[in-house]
A and B are shown apart, each in its own frame.
Chain A
Amino acid sequence: MSVNPAAHPPARFRTLVVEDEWPARNYLVELLEASHLAEVVGAVSTIEEARQVLTDPAGELRVDVAFVDVRIVGSGDEAGLELVRSMAQGPSAPMFVLATAYRQHAVEAFELGVVDYLLKPFTEERVQKCLERLVERRPTPAPERPARIVARQGKKLVFLDPGEVWAFEASDRLTSVHTVHGQFALDLSLAAIEASIGRGFLRVHRSWLVSSSYIRELERDGSETRLFVGTGLGPEQPGIFVPVARERAQAVRELLLANSTGVRRG
């Protein structure tokens, strides 16, 4: 008896991206998400952060695959290799894929048990092939686990439940995530977030991605529209004000009203 894979789609790989270059990081996240075989639970830019995520004792992120850049400029020419070397034998070690512009590390990489070796510049086909290779490596899908995402507060890493996120905000290449616990930094572009951990969020502004379930107020002041996003109603309640782009105001309003009852549309 054969099992139709389409009927039981395998659980997506929970992936961590370790890459020091901003556009490359966002690009890889985008490609991974586009494959529908993986979801990105964290993207970090240094080896220290990667180590912290992977050795987190609570294991909250449960990373299946780590995509690691070999050369992290701030950490050394072979920092990625060293990370794999020191972690590959661990009890809860994830699978590793190395991603680099350098060909010369391939042999050592395979000796370390790396599953695949991606050369830059990446292509959609190659990343897809890599993930299919990973599927072959892990025929039995891992049990469904609560998904968490990783963000940063200064040098500290924080692990967030996506359900706790009110909104993502981009300001001059810095992205932050707003939650009831406060504001944290994310090393990804808003576009990459929208494609990954921010799936289902509402793009209300060029630099705002909002969770529709936390929108509490919609306020129109002349031509300006803004939202209050948070856990309660009223000025004393925790939350933030989010501007709505003029050209999206009507669409946002209709979408919100379509999912609610009470107010007459118009």
Chain B
Amino acid sequence: MNGLDSVPASSRQAAARTPAPLFGRQQWAIALFVVGAGMLLQLLPLLVLERREQSLIPRIVFWVLELPTLIAALTLVYRWALLRRLTTLTTVLMSVTIAVALGSALSALTLFLVTAIQGPGSVLTPSGRPASYLGVTLFGGIFGLFHCGLWALAFVYPAAVEDRRLRAAEADKLRLEAEALRTTAELSRLRSQLEPHFLLNTLNAIAGLVTQDPREARRLLACLGELLGDTLQADGDTQTFGREVAWLKGYASILESRFTGSLRFEWDVATNVQQVLLPRLLLQPILENAVTHGALKRGGPGLVRLSASRQMRDGSPVLVCTVEDDGPGFDPAVTREGGIGLPAARRRLALWSADASFDIRSTGDGTRVVIELPWKA
């Protein structure tokens, strides 16, 4: 019935969205390619330029030990950092530390293993001397750092790009959705202002009055024409209180005529509030509510009274507007009785200004809605 209450589920989920996965199918391909290329780049100079096969064995042992361990460890840390929402700097520092530590430890392990299998002196430095544990650890740390860079390039960078793309798409979707919502709200508001049944019933009343009371029929036609013209022509979401009240008076006058003998309106609008701005036809559903759930439920002549004045709250001026009826009242907590008009009006008011207030008091003697909104002129 109204577009306001149905917020699409996707926009609610947006806040809890997950980042792009590190291990999508495409990501794996990129990662394999980058890691493979990195290793080839390291191996090529050894094979082509130096031709020292025996230094190849410890290096391959080191890579077999270090690369999978490091990539797994860094990925886990990255995941954990995302979940904990750690800052970029913390994440980078942690990754680098872990890479250096793992590289050092595993290169030491490699030296130990190769020495144990092939005998002492089987691992040589590039200058041909047997490698020391200190040198190998240093070498391992540097390689750890290098592999960390490789990992970032292979896994994190594609994921980050993908994430950015998804985010942009999502933002676009949200923006479109918000626009659609605004349009729907606008349309449903226009529709509710002059809903078809109001129109049909008013036309029926005029058809009857044509013979019974031609002057009244002509007057209602003029009123209806003004309401329609205003609804069809007016643009924007804002209008002056003076125009708002003029519209409401035409609307009320039609209802008064249709419910002759059962409904009466009273207006008490201060002269200095004519120029203040408020959301267009904010008061219409409130007035309608006072009629259908208030004055006409009385079982006798009912009264709806609208008053408005400029008042001061904490040193700044506000518009105070009251709509009251003398009906049997209702429980504002039960939305069925309040209809959809009141919650929608309350929401519009809240969107209009955070300092605005909306208060409903309903007793057995009537209902009173008081609205306060900051002075905008």
Contact = CB atoms under 8 A, between A and B. Distances in A.
A22 B261 contact: yes
Interface in A90-108: 101-102
A235 interface: no
Contact of B292 (A46, A73, A173, A191): A73
A163 B211 CA distance: 27
B258 interface: yes
B297 to A, nearest CB: 5
Interface string A79-118: 0000000000000000000000110000000000000000
Given A46-B299, A73-B292, A102-B197, A24 B259 contact: no
B296 interface: yes
B204 interface: yes
B200 A121 contact: yes
B221 to A, nearest CB: 13
A45 interface: yes
B297 A23 contact: no
Interface in B280-302: 291-292, 296-299
Interface string B209-253: 101110010000000000000000000000000000000000000
17 contacts: A22-B257, A23-B213, A23-B257, A24-B201, A26-B208, A27-B204, A27-B205, A73-B291, A73-B292, A73-B297, A74-B296, A101-B201, A119-B200, A173-B261, A174-B261, A189-B212, A191-B213
Contact of A74 (B196, B201, B211, B298): B298
B49 to A, nearest CB: 88
Nearest to B210: A27
B260 interface: yes
Given A73-B292, A191-B212, A121 B207 contact: yes
Contacts of B296: 20, 73-74
Interface residues of B, number: 27
Nearest to A173: B260
A133 interface: no
Given A30-B208, A189-B212, A191-B211, A24 B297 contact: no
A21 interface: yes
Interface residues on A, range: 20 to 34
Contacts of A189: 212-213
A120 interface: yes
Contacts of B292: 73
Interface of B: 196-197, 200-201, 203-209, 211-213, 216, 257-262, 291-292, 296-299
A120 to B, nearest CB: 4
A199 B291 CA distance: 36
Contacts of B196: 101
A122 interface: yes
A107 B275 CA distance: 50
Nearest to B200: A101
A32 interface: no
A101 B260 contact: no
Nearest to B202: A121
Contacts of A25: 208
A24 B204 contact: yes
Contacts of A101: 196-197, 200-201, 204
A187 B258 CA distance: 13
Contacts of A119: 200
Contacts of A27: 204-205, 207-209, 212
B207 A22 contact: no
Given A21-B201, A46-B299, A121-B200, A73 B259 contact: yes
A121 B221 CA distance: 14
Contacts of B208: 23-28, 30
B292 to A, nearest CB: 6
B197 to A, nearest CB: 5
B258 A74 contact: no
B298 to A, nearest CB: 7
Given A23-B257, A119-B200, 5 more contacts: A73-B292, A74-B296, A101-B197, A173-B261, A189-B213
Contacts of A22: 205, 257-261
A248 B196 CA distance: 44
Contact of A23 (B197, B200, B260, B298): B260
Interface in A32-67: 45-46
Nearest to B293: A73
B326 to A, nearest CB: 13
B262 to A, nearest CB: 7
A28 B261 CA distance: 18
A74 B211 CA distance: 27
Q: Which of A20, A26, A122, A187 has the most CB of B within 10 A?
A: A26
A252 interface: no
A21 B203 contact: no
A192 interface: yes
Contacts of A73: 259, 291-292, 296-297
A174 to B, nearest CB: 6
A26 B299 CA distance: 20
Contact of A122 (B197, B207, B211, B262): B207
B299 A24 contact: no
